[in-house]
Chain A
Amino acid sequence: MNDKYNTATPLVMHIDLNSCFATVEQQARVRLRGKPVVVVNRRTDMTMIVTASYEAKAMGVKLGMRLRDAKLLCPELVGVESDPAKYKYVYHKLLDIMNDYSAHVTMKSIDEGVIDFGEAPVAIVERGLENIGREIKQRLRDEIGIAMRCNVGIATNRFLAKMAASLHKPDGLDIITDENLREVYSTLKLQDLTGIAGRNEHRLNAIGIMTPLQFLDASPQVLHDMVFQSINGDYWHQRLRGWEVDDVETTVKRVGRQYVLDSFTLSFDEILQRLHHLCESVGWRMRKQGLSARGIYVGTRTFNMEGDKRRNYWHASYVSMSPFFSDGTIYSLARHLFVNAPPNIRDINIHVYLLQETEETQVSLFADQIARERSVVDAIDELNDRYGEHTIHSADTTKTSPFVKTKIPFGSTRYL
């Protein structure tokens, strides 16, 4: 455990396209520049805001707000329906630019990534990360468009680099070192730290830690034993001092989709059709990664439960003895669980888990049957690969495509 601040040369760069989707829309649609713009998933008044441009944020518009409410704050607000293909293109351009500087690039989500210069060529590191950061900003403008802006943060670990990237939005470039570490913390609140939201803040407040500086000065014993009551306390002690603890590879543990119903007056059969469509989408994504699953989970939130919020979530799950991979099996299992769902369904959440490599599948007594199923599924996937997702699908989901569209993949970048 290091009690001192990390005095090494900062070699981790965090790049963040703030208000990414709104900025990309303003880049593409020239007449939206300088106007308050929000990106929504559907062009209806009740839809939630996914991203707001800086002009909209300046008027008080926040993410998660309903479009109708946001328009009360900002009548000239322009709602734009999301266009994932554009964001995917910008993501790949950003990734290409970042890959030019180091082989150690990790995209944290569709709009932010980290370059680790620790093992980058000396010639690149000698140019100085600040210069490289400015060059990346310029390349974004040259290679994508003049409206593109990004925040760059440089530090000795991922946590501080991300924090540095959030100091001067929307077009900042900041470096955090052991020398200005305390000064930076003194300007922040606890919730400005990545990973500290309501619950963690309460934990810290409970023992008298009210500011990031007090958090920094807390001993590892206090953080371990009294605040987090786990090894997370030690991690926080290291992270705050600039030592790397977040350079960990994550593995896929589940594949899923969530969908808010397009209408709350649908019949149960129509809801099942949407569930079927989601199952096909989940199966496609899972097989794209060469995986099969053994577990399936279906959940739903309901509305009009007379104010009893504790009962507005229902879920069910099932673990199979043998792995499954076909859309038909996924839907069959999901449907079997879903028939027990309560009425007044608001959304559907489905995921498969206990994933394993398809090649690892144990030989079964029904090997012939599985081999046949595998051949059919592979043939369908090949056709869908060639002619586009959902070209060959169940007759049951013929009418659902206009409603169950793939929207913005916020968290994972596996499907980009």
Chain B
Amino acid sequence: MNDELFMNERVDVVAKFSSGLNPLEPVKFRRASGREITVKEIGLRHPTMQGKRMVHVFDVTDGAADYRLELDSERLVWHLTREGDRWV
């Protein structure tokens, strides 16, 4: 089974706002440990509703692993909630 880590880690994110089909793109993020991860590709962005609150979920990769970033659109905070698909 593919090892996956599930967490709810507050992260700092540099994101780009632009026009077009993907108006918001996370560019890189810094984890609580201080490690910086540069986003190489955004796989999918999808919204989920937590009650009436919308959370935007970004599945991204840095080329070495896949990450799941969540932006709470009400509180405007980012969380890293999953890390996985890391093969040697």
Contacts and interface: CB of A to CB of B under 8 A. Distances in A.
B66 A31 contact: yes
Interface string A67-88: 0000000000011100001100
A238 B50 CA distance: 48
Contact of B43 (A29, A79, A90): A29
Of A28, A78, A90, A387, chain B has the most CB atoms within 10 Å of the CB of: A28
Contacts of B57: 85-86
20 contacts: A27-B44, A28-B44, A28-B46, A29-B66, A29-B84, A29-B85, A30-B41, A30-B61, A30-B66, A31-B86, A78-B85, A79-B1, A85-B46, A85-B57, A86-B57, A89-B46, A386-B52, A387-B51, A387-B52, A388-B49
A78 B52 contact: no
A121 interface: no
A396 interface: no
A370 interface: no
Contact of A388 (B47, B51, B59, B84): B51
Given A29-B66, A29-B84, A31-B87, 11 more contacts: A30-B59, A31-B61, A31-B65, A31-B66, A78-B85, A80-B2, A85-B57, A86-B44, A145-B43, A386-B52, A388-B49
Contacts of B21: 142-143
B62 to A, nearest CB: 10
A125 interface: no
A143 B45 CA distance: 10
Nearest to B44: A28
Interface string A28-46: 1111100000000001000
B48 interface: yes
A interface majority secondary structure: helix
A234 B1 CA distance: 50
A27 B43 contact: yes
A43 B66 CA distance: 18
Contacts of A24: 44
B44 A144 contact: yes
A391 B59 CA distance: 27
Contacts of B52: 385-387
